[in-house]
Amino acid sequence: MENNVHYPKSYDIIYRAGYVIGFAGIVLFVYSYIFSNTLGFLIGIPVFYAGTLISSLFLLVWRKEIKIFILSCVISGIIAGISYTSAFNNTEVMVVSMGLVLAGLAGLYGKEAFCFHFMEGWILMWSFPILIFANLLAYGLKAEYNPLLHGIFSAIYVIAAILALSFLIKKLRQPLLHICQG
């Protein structure tokens, strides 16, 4: 972020609001996954995507390439998610959609972890690629309905949601427009 550029506090408020909205989507997703609730999934995923998109759009970074990468992942994931619902109706497309959005969110969490030393950000950033790969592997092996695997993924998603909540609390307590310390 350049020193001669000044952003209003509302910019940071909207950025943080994206995390709040995204967390609401995470909670709905985790609930819907654990209890196999289709309605929660249908509401949770778009809410999660919207929150991640808002934070991505209002991200303040010192290198534009980082923002471009994050936005590219999130927007590509949203487009894939829309194609899942409108054209393909294919589970694998939804997994790819979620993977792309999670890659963008990993970038958001990674930026916060780097700048402000949020341990939850590091853990979430590095766990998302593993979760993406594990989900792709489960779908590739047609094991997504295995009860044991469902239980394992449920526990992992709950842990990720708790980490995201801890991250969110730290971010909301931070002063507005706090300068990167990484």
> What percentage of the chain carries pLDDT values higher than 90?
65
State residue 120's pLDDT score.
96
Average pLDDT, the chain: 90
Residue 98 or 95, more confident: 98
Q: Which of the four pLDDT bands, split at 50, 70 and 90, describes residue 88?
A: low
**Span 36-50, mean pLDDT?**
91
**Span 125-142, mean pLDDT?**
87
3-state secondary structure string, the chain?
Answer: CCCCCCCCHHHHHHHHHHHHHHHHHHHHHHHHHHCCCHHHHHHHHHHHHHHHHHHHHCCCCCCHHHHHHHHHHHHHHHHHHHHHHHHHCCHHHHHHHHHHHHHHHHHHHHHHHHHHCCHHHHHHHHHHHHHHHHHHHHHHCCCCCCHHHHHHHHHHHHHHHHHHHHHHHHHHHCCCCCCCCC
Q: Where are the domains of the chain?
A: 9-173
